[in-house]
Structure 1
């Protein structure tokens, strides 16, 4: 199974594609779609859409795992990120790729085994599980790989299978 993990944003969209077979992870591709702050927002959304279409073409994922949004302070930023996330989800739907959503707590639990783990712990375990020499930069990229690992660990479970059938 090829899984494309996505950490949504509008300035930086982190992505990481992994193959998960026989309880082994293989990194296929990772990086970030970046948009420039001075670019009009609708154009930034179009750039994200174009970048996602390219990822689906190159990586050919069976599933996309995306982080659910959680904001408790800046609602203006939350709305912009939600709009970008909508473009990302729409891109997957247009590419006929199944979509799974995970909370930050679920990602931490799946990668580290503890839902309240520190970000540095998640990043280091992601690096180790994927046999990478260093934690990918920017952080959004490492987060996307962790989201892909979360889906790999969750999709094979009975609960994960039931969740996927409901989509």
Structure 2
């Protein structure tokens, strides 16, 4: 399985995690990029450069990112979309394939139901990845996206090699 970079984008804190997507699931790094209170274009540049540095340091094969959710605050949703764009550009500039997952898909993959809270996600990620101690919420969310992608990739891999009704491989 590949090494996966998971991203929880944000305009003030962007969480990231790099995991080994093999059967045992292990974390290489779970952390955040904390952005200073500065103009928004500068923060977008810092997301891009910070994630570029993570990609260079940890050499992931793929990236998974949380999809935009519908927000009542249009300005916040727009900023989140722009932060996602900076993260996706960092991955694309390094040739990484990018997969997107909704918050519900991530929660379902980690906790088993789509309406889990942040504490449940943090607890399960700690258990799944063998992380001791508290996890910062954005970093745990990024790790959850990476684990979700690992689960989906395994399932898709099994489906691709499953025999069809005619006995041929799909």
TM-score normalised according to structure 2 size: 0.88
Equivalent position of 2:58 in the other structure = 59
Q: Secondary structure, in 3 states, of the residue corresponding to 1:66? A: strand
**What does residue range 152-163 of structure 1 map to in structure 2 within 5 Å?**
152-158=150-156
Tell whether 2:125 aligns with 1:126: yes
Equivalent position of 2:166 in the other structure = none
TM-score normalised according to structure 1 size: 0.90
Deviation at residue 161 of structure 1 after TM alignment: 7.5
For the pair shown, the structure with the greater C-alpha radius of gyration is 2
Equivalent position of 1:105 in the other structure = 104
Q: How many residues align?
A: 159
Structure 1 unaligned regions, length at least 5:
163-167
Q: Secondary structure, in 3 states, of the residue corresponding to 1:157? A: helix
**In 2, Cα distance between equivalents of 1:90 and 1:150:** 21
Structure 1 outlier segments of 4+, above 4 Å: 159-162
Post-superposition Cα deviations, 1:69-104, rounded to whole Å, max 9, x if no partner, equal: 113221111111111111111111110001000001
How much is the aligned-residue C-alpha RMSD, in angstroms?
1.6
Deviation at residue 35 of structure 1 after TM alignment: 1.2
**What does residue range 17-36 of structure 1 map to in structure 2 within 5 Å?**
17-21=18-22, 23-36=23-36
**In 2, Cα distance between equivalents of 1:30 and 1:161:** 30
Kept in 2, the 8 Å contact 1:105–1:115? The answer is yes
